Structure 1
Amino acid sequence: MSRPARRGLAVASSSAALLLALAACGSGVSDDAEGAAEQVGPGYVTEGKLTVGTAQPAYFPWAIDDDPTTGEGFEPAVAYAVAEQLGFDSDDVEWVRTTFDEAIAPGPKTFDINLQQFSITPERENAVDFSSPYYESAQVVVTTGSSSVADAASLADLEDALIGAQTGTTSFIAAEQTIAPAQGVQAFSSNDDAKLALENGQVDAIVVDLPTAFYISGAELDDGVIVGQLPEAEGQHGDAFGIVLPKGSALTGDVTDAVDALREDGTLDALAEEWLGGDAAPQLQ
């Protein structure tokens, strides 16, 4: 950053300090020792560009073929829609990869915004900013095509089934309170264990959150079936996913306004239906 030229002895030291402060405020980017860019004032990581972070790899159906630059998949589509709301052309969107943990850790960031299914929590809000939610997940019943409940159309159809879920999770509570299976909910230490039990015929179906349901049924089970979404259990709510920004980012308000506009005009619902298969997860009553 260039320093303002001196104007001889007539320039007081206080005026020079003020000029330096103003020059610093006008800077959009500074680099830390690791090369990460920290947003300052209204600036972006790269002037004239919107730098979007996502996972490595980014999984179906959130991104298709691990290539967010195509705009295919729910989160790339949301990112490009937000970019348009902010006044960027698609050619002005640049992508970077981060791990989940480093994206929500305190400190400088290599991105302006980051999307990789970050649930908004008070703990995370201590380290980063969030936009308003662009998606709220539900609890979903997953099974296989050969299961006796593959064609279940209501909660009553599941009452006599063996239902599994990861213990200590919202999924387990939803299964207990909403399905209330006659034999109780079968507890597993992880979703992977519950999925293995489903594959081995130890349970008839499992309950997981919607993103996990899409991945398990579409990528991990040979004959996966999404039976349907559960109504919210009393006192329970789906996980709200927000766009992550650096803590104190000057862009947080604008990004939230963009997300709100996309929600209000129906764009977010349309993108969720297109990429997350809204018709594939009917509401169970």
Structure 2
Amino acid sequence: MRPSPILSRLVPALAVGALVLAACGSDGDSSGTSDTLAPAGTDAAPGAEGTTAPIGGCGPTIDDGVITIATGAPAFYPWVIDDDPTSGEGFEAAVAYAVAGEMGYDAESVVWVRTTFDEAIQPGAKNFDMNLQQYSITPERQENIDMSLPYYTSNQAIVALDGSPAEGATTVADLKDVKFGAQVGTTSLQFITDVIQPNQEPFVYDDNVGAKAALEANQIDAAVFDLPTALYVSGVEIEGSSVVGQFPADAGGTTDQFGFVLEKDSALTSCLNDAITTLTDNGELDAITQEWLADFTGAPVITVD
């Protein structure tokens, strides 16, 4: 492969992985669910039929006295650590328990189930009260399901191999001589050209597969992805790579917002939105984000001033 600046043509588009699908849409299987995890200290698992009396002023849930929350099968780092949402470790696991608490459900009253990505956003009855798997909030999805207010706004991040000149950067000025690559037509490419503005024009690829291949082959110094994709690429796909930096969410105006999925016209949606608003206003969501998506991942914030 010999990519040239502005437009390079590599392999045909392939699925990037579970995390990327979650951020940008999904090609995943739309069938079936996996195991149900009972709340801590109980042996019972919830059923998926019927509704019950509300707790804490919220609407009814599908099972009496508990709130059923769904995640992926499997769920990936850093969203859920070790694929165990009951631990409360990982960004989305921690968010789920914080939100449930605001809605009146303590940790012992949270039940976890698994769904595929596509399954959860299909119209119809659900086997969960709410589901979080990095679902981007879009008008198209909201035609079939309810989506909550955002609990996370994604930002751009840099993935590089060990020893890359991008390592150690603290400002965009430190990145001027770095050779970047990104997928054509993405906010990541726009971010490189509009915000980073490197001295050399970025290498442009038909898809993320091409950008990753170029990075592995040392044809570029670094690739830019949204942070969820960057974490998956570095943690699962490219050995010897890491997220060497991330940018403020408001930098460049290129953001993506994640929300919970609920059944269409769910009686819980308003209560869930109130909980997210409270956690946003009191700073708890920011603290969870800092713990699991900044401090835990070890990706420093690169300033753009």
TM over 0.5: yes
Task: Tell me which moved more, 78-87 or 212-221.
Answer: 212-221
The residue that corresponds to 1:283 in the other structure is 302
- For the 8 Å contact 2:156–2:227, the answer to whether it is kept is yes
Q: Helix, strand or coil: the match of 2:302?
A: coil
Q: Deviation per CA, 1:235-264: give whole Å up to 9, x if none.
A: x33111111111100110100001111111
Residue identity (%): 50
Structure 2 unaligned segments of length 5 or more: list them: 1-46, 54-58
- For the 8 Å contact 1:38–1:110, the answer to whether it is kept is no
Matched, 1:57 2:74: yes
Q: Normalised by the size of structure 1, how large is the TM-score?
A: 0.81
The residue that corresponds to 1:243 in the other structure is 260
Taking only aligned residues, the RMSD between alpha carbons, in angstroms, comes to 2.0
Q: Which amino acid aligns with 1:284?
A: T
Matched, 1:147 2:164: yes
Task: Tell me which moved more, 115-124 or 216-225.
Answer: 216-225
Q: Normalised by the size of structure 2, how large is the TM-score?
A: 0.76
The residue that corresponds to 1:264 in the other structure is 281
Q: Helix, strand or coil: the match of 2:151?
A: strand
- For the 8 Å contact 1:134–1:241, the answer to whether it is kept is yes
Q: Deviation per CA, 1:248-281: give whole Å up to 9, x if none.
A: 0011010000111111111111111111124623
Q: Distance in 1 between matches of 2:51 and 2:190?
A: 41
Q: Per residue, is there more strand in 1 or in 2?
A: 1
Q: Which structure 2 residues correspond to residues 88-107 of structure 1 after superposition, within 5 A?
A: 88-107=105-124
The residue that corresponds to 1:132 in the other structure is 149
Q: Helix, strand or coil: the match of 1:225?
A: strand
Task: Tell me which moved more, 184-193 or 246-255.
Answer: 184-193
- For the 8 Å contact 2:130–2:260, the answer to whether it is kept is yes
- For the 8 Å contact 1:150–1:225, the answer to whether it is kept is no
Q: Helix, strand or coil: the match of 1:277?
A: helix
Task: Tell me which moved more, 186-195 or 40-49.
Answer: 40-49
Q: Distance in 2 between matches of 1:103 and 1:37?
A: 16
Q: Which structure 2 residues correspond to residues 1-285 of structure 1 after superposition, within 5 A?
A: 37=49, 42-230=59-247, 232=250, 234=252, 236-278=253-295, 280-285=299-304
- TM-superposed CA distance for 1:160, in Å, is 2.7
Q: Helix, strand or coil: the match of 2:100?
A: helix
Q: Distance in 2 between matches of 1:251 and 1:237?
A: 30
Q: Are the structure 2 counterparts of residues 224 and 230 from structure 1 closer, same or farther at C-alpha, using a change threshold of 3 Å?
A: same
- For the 8 Å contact 1:55–1:98, the answer to whether it is kept is yes
Q: Distance in 2 between matches of 1:102 and 1:218?
A: 25
Q: Distance in 2 between matches of 1:245 and 1:67?
A: 22
Q: Deviation per CA, 1:204-229: give whole Å up to 9, x if none.
A: 11000011122222333333232323
Q: Which amino acid aligns with 1:133?
A: P
Q: Helix, strand or coil: the match of 1:263?
A: helix
Q: Distance in 2 between matches of 1:186 and 1:167?
A: 9
- For the 8 Å contact 1:38–1:108, the answer to whether it is kept is no
- For the 8 Å contact 2:67–2:105, the answer to whether it is kept is yes
- TM-superposed CA distance for 1:164, in Å, is 0.7
Q: Which amino acid aligns with 1:282?
A: V
Structure 1 unaligned segments of length 5 or more: list them: 1-34
- TM-superposed CA distance for 1:57, in Å, is 0.6
- For the 8 Å contact 2:157–2:230, the answer to whether it is kept is yes
Task: Tell me which moved more, 184-193 or 50-59.
Answer: 184-193
Q: Helix, strand or coil: the match of 2:82?
A: coil
| Larger CA Rg, structure 1 vs 2 | 1
- TM-superposed CA distance for 1:200, in Å, is 1.1
Q: Distance in 1 between matches of 2:103 and 2:67?
A: 9
Q: Are the structure 2 counterparts of residues 112 and 181 from structure 1 closer, same or farther at C-alpha, using a change threshold of 3 Å?
A: same
Task: Tell me which moved more, 178-187 or 199-208.
Answer: 178-187
- TM-superposed CA distance for 1:38, in Å, is 6.7
- For the 8 Å contact 2:170–2:300, the answer to whether it is kept is no
Q: Are the structure 2 counterparts of residues 77 and 162 from structure 1 closer, same or farther at C-alpha, using a change threshold of 3 Å?
A: same
Q: Which amino acid aligns with 1:154?
A: T
Q: Distance in 1 between matches of 2:49 and 2:256?
A: 30
- TM-superposed CA distance for 1:39, in Å, is 5.7
